[in-house]
Amino acid sequence: MVLFVLTFLFTAPDLLAQVGIGADVVSRYVWRGTDFGNAPAVQPYMEVTSGDFTIGAWGSYELSANTGGTEADLYISYSIDDFSIGITDYYFPSVFAPGNYFDFEDSHTYELNLGYGIDDFSISANYYFAGNANDDLYFEATYAVSNVELFAGIGNESYSTTGDFEFVNFGLTTSKDIKISDEFSLPVFSSFILNPDSERIFLLFGFSL
């Protein structure tokens, strides 16, 4: 957490020019081939960018009485040329007892994120290294063609049914802008996701604000 605070202080002078906020509304929250809820969800975010540094917060909140997919994350990243490195702090309020956010050892999962992208192709490696973690690893490759993004991911431990590396996330996402008026268009997207390991498929729809 000290790292998040130091980065925030570093970027503070540029807050007004570098703040981004928004939200996605999705028909279902599926992440890395895993279903996190059976209801629509609102997923807000806010972030601050200064030079090559970005710090932000992201959440997911189901529009139902079921709070199984509730999530509140913090992240920090640094980019140089085509490479990026970052840390994500995952927190699931519904999983742990209320009022224990500051139990950073047992109530949070910390992930190291490495990425490389060139033109329309990108790869990422992600490792749970601390907190409530089991040394989980997840690797993903994506390729964008026009308004379609293809993706494939493999993971072990909590990502797979066996604990070994399995293919867990295949699919595509397509997007378009729907014109509402001369001044406003609504970005919409749809994803088809296949998890070969759990033998499940998902078809999702969402829009961005």
pLDDT in tens, 119-128: 999 999 999 9
Residue-wise pLDDT tens digits, 55-99: 999 999 998 876 667 899 999 999 999 999 999 999 988 665 666
Tell me: the pLDDT tens digits for 113-158? 999 999 999 999 999 999 877 889 999 999 999 999 999 999 999 9
Report percent pLDDT > 70 for the chain: 88
CA 174, CA 192: separation in Å to the nearest integer? Answer: 9
Strand ranges (DSSP E) for 68-196? 71-80, 83-90, 109-118, 121-131, 137-145, 148-155, 166-179, 185-195
Residue 16 DSSP one-character state = H
Give 32-47 pLDDT, tens digit per residue.
999 988 889 999 999 9
Compute the distance between CA of residue 44 and CA of residue 140 in angstroms, rounded to an integer: 23
* Model confidence, pTM: 0.88
Residue 15 has pLDDT above 70, yes or no: no
Please answer whether residues 155 and 168 qualify as being in contact, where contact means their C-beta atoms are separated by less than 8 angstroms.
yes
- Please answer whether residues 87 and 114 qualify as being in contact, where contact means their C-beta atoms are separated by less than 8 angstroms: no
Listed in order, strand segments (DSSP E) in 9-52 are 19-26, 30-31, 34-35, 41-50
SS3 13: helix
Tally of structural domains, the chain: 1
What CATH number is associated with residue 74? 2.40.160
In this prediction, residue 105 has a pLDDT band, given cuts at 50, 70 and 90, of confident
Supply the mean pLDDT for the chain. 89
What residues make up the domain containing 192? 2-208
Compute the distance between CA of residue 98 and CA of residue 93 in angstroms, rounded to an integer: 7
Q: Is the pLDDT of residue 8 over 80?
A: no
- Residue-level pLDDT at 189: 98
Specify the range with the lowest mean pLDDT, choosing from 52-56, 95-99, 107-111.
95-99
Query: What is the C-alpha separation between 48 and 82, in angstroms, rounded?
Result: 20
